[in-house]
Amino acid sequence: MHGDLKRLEGLELDGIVAPPSLNNTQDTSHPCTLVLLHGYGANAGDLLGLRDEIDPTMACVALQAPVDLGPMGMPGGRAWFQLQMTPEGDITYDTAGAMSALRMLERVVPQAAEQATSEGNASQIVVLGFSQGAMLGHGLLLKSSVELAGLAACSGRLVPEIFDQRPLDVPAGLPVFLSHGSLDEVIPVASGHAIKDAYQSDSSACVTWVESPIGHGISPDMLDALRTWFGSFSR
């Protein structure tokens, strides 16, 4: 299904487009288009299998981050923005690079979602991001003009520059799925708790929170919860 990466026509980012997979009993696809934003060191193919696990009737586009990590010893790895390691062993991020990536996604996501749907028909956009992709998913919801029908953000870090305006500018009742591993060694679960608390206390979002005893990843029970969460979107 993955095939070769292709340049999305006229856009700034590469990505893999997966059209809806319909069987003989289905005559319509899911009303949402799924936009996948991978994490640091991965690429557009990393999350693509989640579409079929969650709901194969969704049109899907997996975008690929612009920064090539090959010269840093990670062949095939990409990043939305650079990370740095402090002498104390903490991970810091390039704030300007993160904001630049957010502006790029603000331009690309609506057009990429339109290209992913059959005959270019517009549909509701749901973003699913992991790690760096989750951070930018929050940015698309809170700091961009892109209209989202929902956000699933897994194992993300709270970026103060994105969560600086309170109350958070989220449409009332908008579904927000958050997950984090309690044993996460890359982004501590405390960051996930802070994000959950921000949405629950400073917005009218409809928050789903899933925490599992895993590291930096998506567990089977998180995937089950994602499947249920996506199933709540009306057809």
pLDDT one-digit tens code per residue, 69-87 = 999 999 999 999 988 777 7
Whether 24 shows a pLDDT value over 50: the answer reads no
Residue at 137: amino acid letter: G
Q: Is 169 part of a structural domain of the chain?
A: yes
What pLDDT is attached to residue 26?
Answer: 57
Q: Is 107 part of a structural domain of the chain?
A: yes
Whether 120 shows a pLDDT value over 70: the answer reads no
Q: Is 78 part of a structural domain of the chain?
A: yes
Take residue 177 and report the two structure tokens written for it.
């799925």
Structural domain including 87 reads 6-20+29-230
Whether 194 shows a pLDDT value over 90: the answer reads yes
Q: Taking residues 106-133, report their average pLDDT.
A: 86
- Count of structural domains within the chain: 1
Whether 197 shows a pLDDT value over 90: the answer reads yes
* Ramachandran angles phi, psi of 41, nearest 5°: 85, -10
What pLDDT is attached to residue 4?
Answer: 37
Q: Is 192 part of a structural domain of the chain?
A: yes
Torsion angle defined by CA atoms of residues 89, 163, 69 and 43, in that order, rounded to the nearest 10 degrees = 120
pLDDT classification of 203: cutoffs 50, 70, 90: very high
Q: List Cα–Cα distances, 107 to 11, 134, 144, 151, 152, in angstroms.
A: 9, 17, 9, 18, 20
Q: Is 235 part of a structural domain of the chain?
A: no
Torsion angle defined by CA atoms of residues 186, 192, 198 and 204, in that order, rounded to the nearest 10 degrees = 130
Residue at 114: amino acid letter: E
pTM: 0.92
CATH number, residue 126: 3.40.50.1820
In 3D space, the residue among 33, 65, 60 whose CA is nearest the CA of residue 48 turns out to be 60
Q: Is 1 part of a structural domain of the chain?
A: no
What pLDDT is attached to residue 86?
Answer: 72
Q: Give the containing element (helix H, strand E) for 154.
A: strand 150-154
Q: Is 189 part of a structural domain of the chain?
A: yes
